[in-house]
Amino acid sequence: MENAIFEIVQQWRSEEVKLHPGVLLPSIQGVEKMIGFIFPVEFKELYTQVDGFADFDMRENMFSIWPLGVIVDEYERDDDKEYVGFSDYLIHSHSIGFLKGRAGIFKNYGRGEYILIANSFIEAIQLINSDAAIIY
């Protein structure tokens, strides 16, 4: 998993995506308590390296990976407390995130319908980085 995270971060750097520095594990744990959701280990490993994209930057495919602060803001703003987003397309055309109590990563168009796109967080990030059709 460490190699996958290294490759993800290297790709973002080579694409000159603006990145926030990583956060400490206690910050992630504080967010977990706040939203009532335990992030998978791979999420924690990535976010201790990079806390999402800075300045609302996005990849060339128009996807952005949210910093923890945006994850919390979006969670608090959304009426659906079962969904925890971490990425969006084209300034919130749709988002990608977790569903509490369900395995996998889901696409959410904001209509209460969730579409499974990946089995793991790292797989979802790799799909975003490879511009896979399923993320749209």
pLDDT tens-digit readout, 81-103? 999 999 999 988 999 999 999 99
Which pLDDT belongs to residue 91?
A: 80
Q: With 80 as the cut, is the pLDDT of residue 115 above it?
A: yes
Which pLDDT belongs to residue 92?
A: 80
Q: With 80 as the cut, is the pLDDT of residue 132 above it?
A: yes
Q: With 80 as the cut, is the pLDDT of residue 77 above it?
A: yes
Spacing of C-alpha 44 from chain mean position: 11
Per-residue pLDDT, averaged over 56-63, amounts to 95
Q: What residue has token string 């926030």? A: 20
pLDDT class for 110, splitting at 50, 70, 90? confident
Spatial CB neighbours of 77, under 8 Å, sequence gap ≥ 6: none
Give how many domains the chain has, as a whole number: 1
Q: What residue has token string 């987003």? A: 85
Q: pTM for this structure?
A: 0.94
pLDDT in tens, 5-47: 999 999 999 999 999 999 999 999 999 999 999 999 999 999 9
Q: In what order do the strands lie in the sheet with 83-89?
A: 63-65, 83-89, 94-99, 102-108, 114-118
- The residue segments making up the domain with residue 50 are 2-135
* C-beta neighbour count of 62 within 10 angstroms: 13
Looking up residue 92, the CATH number of its domain turns out to be 3.40.1580.10
